[in-house]
Structure 1
Amino acid sequence: MVLLEQLLNTDYITDMVLLTQPDTLQNQMVSNIEITETPDVEFYISAETFILTTGMVFKDNQLKLIDFIDSLIRAKGSGLAIKSGRFLGGKIDPLVIEHANKQHFPIINIPDKYPLGRLLHQMSNYIWDQQKEEIEFALEIQKQFSDLLLNNTSVGKVINEFSKIIKCPIILLSPLKKVIAYSQFFVRQKDWLESIESQFQQKFYQSEVPDDYVKMYDQKHQTFMLSVSNVFVFKYFPHYLLILNPENMTYPISTFTIDQAKLVLSYILYKSEMVYNTYLHASSSFMLESMTSDSHDRSVLYNAIEDIHLIDSNYYLAIEVNVPSALDPMRKTVELYEKYALIVDWLKNYGEKYFEDMFLFQKDAQSDIYIVLQNHNINVEKCLLKCRHDLAELVDIDLIYSVGEAVISLDQLPKSLDQAQLAFKSRFSDYNREPITYYNNSGVQHLFHNINAKEIEYFCESVLKELAFPETNSQKELRTTLKVYLDNQCETTITANQLFVHRNTVKYRIEKCQEILGTDIHDPKASLNIRVALSLSV
């Protein structure tokens, strides 16, 4: 890939004439050259293709070139070169040139002495030679980056080295659109760094960030260009590599070179993510074991896990942090687990902005994220909502909190953790998506909390059969109807109104439920078992 302006300055075609304004050549990249005499070429060319033509099909009406130019723009073509002396009388209609200028699309005149076939061959060879040189350069860069990887280099070091190579300032943003690394240029330009971060957040507020050039403003409110590249550590929530004034990059820097840097950054970021997740899970497991065992001295526990900032207090409160989509058992998707990772990142880096002396706790390696507060805060609800709001401003994640009860000693923290977990599970029964819910110790789940989970599962399956843990939409529909019907004391009309279905539909579904369960759900003993099983199998 080369700049069109650079291609037109090669020694053997210097007499090709640009018919449009000079600025139409700006940032026009060429990856491919094609000869065509057909007007529907937009469906058959790749992006950044430069078209060579005699314009034969337009000899009777040059104004049709306007539609042809628009089609090339839709196909993301690089420009149009016309051998006008062959069929167009050596002159392009001024209206066509005017339209091309408005669209910032370059039109070049090819002198009669150039056969199109030879011109295609010469231009293509030039592009291939440039690409070969770019690849060789990129491979050399890859070697440098590989050495950095082998030396366990940090993200900041990679960013700084890459900045030296391309001679442009660089910023790396997290999926939360927060600065996590930057090149040496910004060491004394912190205000500008913060300004770029803020502008980026505002420009792409709750919207997808494309791989593209973006216009920004410096401290003097003058515009400058920013190249944005997505760096995929996560599938749905990429990091962002920002290159300032990319037009200043010197040859032979290419997209391939940038891709090498992105690949290395992806690896280092992924490694860092996995290391922290492993640490969080391991330290949480160690804490849980220590809190439920007499074999560990508390002072050892306080000093053993430095990053958790555990303090000796008479107040501990566990809050499970989750997202509404986790309430659907069928939506345990990659996107959901990526959201968990970003929630951990958010709370790890910014949690203490909202909650003093908090630490993170994680029962499971992929979910069950808890905030543990170690000081009483009368404004805790306000802080939770502020934390939720600020995260939603940066990325499409909507937090929901499930709050346990405060305990007075670290020994009792597992109790608060269990209560927060029960508070979250209670959301399933009525699909409670409220931002904050609290533990209620009067529920059925509380009574059965200490019973073996396998025994509870067996009880639910023996009572509800295939409706205990439904897998199909039909089974879920029947289970929901059964629960609403029982909650409304078996009133068909009320159930139908609540579900927005006909009374006969409710009757049919209840009959189907009774058929599956093999019992009369109106029988008091059967009804009690069904209600308990429905509550326990959420």
Structure 2
Amino acid sequence: MGVTIGEALKTKFFTGYHLIAGEKGLDREIQAVSLFDAPDGYKWVKGKEFMLSSGYLFKDNVELFREAILFLYKQNSTCIAVKKDRYLGDVPKEIIDLCNELGFPLINVPNNVAWIDIINAVNSIVMNRYITHIIDRKNADKLVLRSDDFHKKIEKTIICLSEELKYPISIVDILEKEVFTYPKEQPFLKDNISFSKEDNFSFNYQKEILCDKLNIYRIKNIEDSNKCPFVIIPIVIKGVTVSKLIVWEHSGKIDYYDLFVLRLSYTLLLEVYEQIYLMNSFERRFYDDLIRALINGELDSKQNLIKAISNIQDFKLNIENNFICVCIKQDGGNPSFYNDREKISTTFLLNIPKDKSIFGILDDNTIILLYDVKGYNKDVIKNVKKDFESIFKEIKNNFPDREIKLGIGDMVEDICSIKKSYVGSLKAVDIGSYIYTDGEMITFEDLGPFGLLRLESIQRKDFGNNFSHISPLLEEPDSDELISTLKVYLESESNCNIAAKKLFIHSNTVRYRIGKIQQICNIDLEDPIERLKVEITLKFINSLK
């Protein structure tokens, strides 16, 4: 993107400048400003530069003047501007004729103008033109767009940017898994679009950093040089990449001014995405009551559910799909999850698409998510567990001092039956904490037969009555030692020698303690049923203490 030399000369800054020759080339585009005053300084140009010189080199050296003009024209420079009255005096006729013939503008610069002022003026003209274009487009759209038409605002920004840069532009929404490209139907989109937050392309590529501050970089296919390179700008909110702005360099590399416009467009898009985030964060505060009504069975039909969600703007969940309940629970005694709602919401909003899940805080210590699993044809539980690994890790990092566990229930085909999955997710956390003491992500499926237990039964009174034969051990002064020996003994398949090695004691000590335990509890550990009952009891020993 640039501005033509003709457009620049019409601006107020260039009022005192005079076009000496080359009027046919006033449509040549400026994309940079360069200065040279060394005999061969003009040879290090890239094209489309507004070339500045004091003219000293060309005094009494028409051949060098001619050579420089021919070289600059061949390299597609924009023009050459000299301070004619400083050293040159009258410009030789053959130079004027050459510039007119080539259509290469030769411009006289007033003596009192500093080079930096020219550079700043050209930069300002280019930048102001795009800013004015954006403002005019936004003002025109005010009659059409509502304040919450966020996706339309994004599309308008992309269209405006593409028309200004004259490159195809795409916006890849990672959370919504959507792509908008202008102009549409570009042949190079396939294999290049990735909804991953990281680069995940199907080809070997070279990555070139263009701006490390905003992480703007170019991707070039090194397997096929005919493939179109592209520039990526990740749009990041709260440390999470939510979208990617892509410029397809089908007709050459973007230039300095293009990068400026990209930075400006990035700012505009970031503002819109932050508005989307704030809107979603506000709306999802209302899901607490909706989820509570579902798991309590108050919304027992889809008709009732449709009425309940009719007032929630932009509700994207498809209630016809299959769902699983995910429960995140912390130990009591910690600060309430309600105090950290913003932190929790940010984690979910920026990691889970809103057409995939809704979430809410059930009580001080419990977060509930209803998760759409329609896309999983098999291994549903395994896939859900995989989906939540990074999310759960982020939650734990947010609350490093707390004991937090995640439970996953079974799939239900009707969202109005989610209570069953909810109870399973709670059991996965509460009962699973005893079965898998080191586990942090536990599924109801993992519990096996233990899933048959009722949560309310795991209390000292009820549980103690059911397993009273172990209770006497808790009254012994060396109860911890006896219980530890019993656990290891059973885990070692009742082998005293193996248990002794694990406990770092003599095997006779193990035999003595096991004998004492059987005498105190009046149990026969040779009986498979009695042994199974003891093994189960030991899983929940903390409830008995």
TM-score w.r.t. the length of structure 2 is 0.47
Higher helix proportion, which one?
A: 1
**Structure number with larger C-alpha Rg:** 2
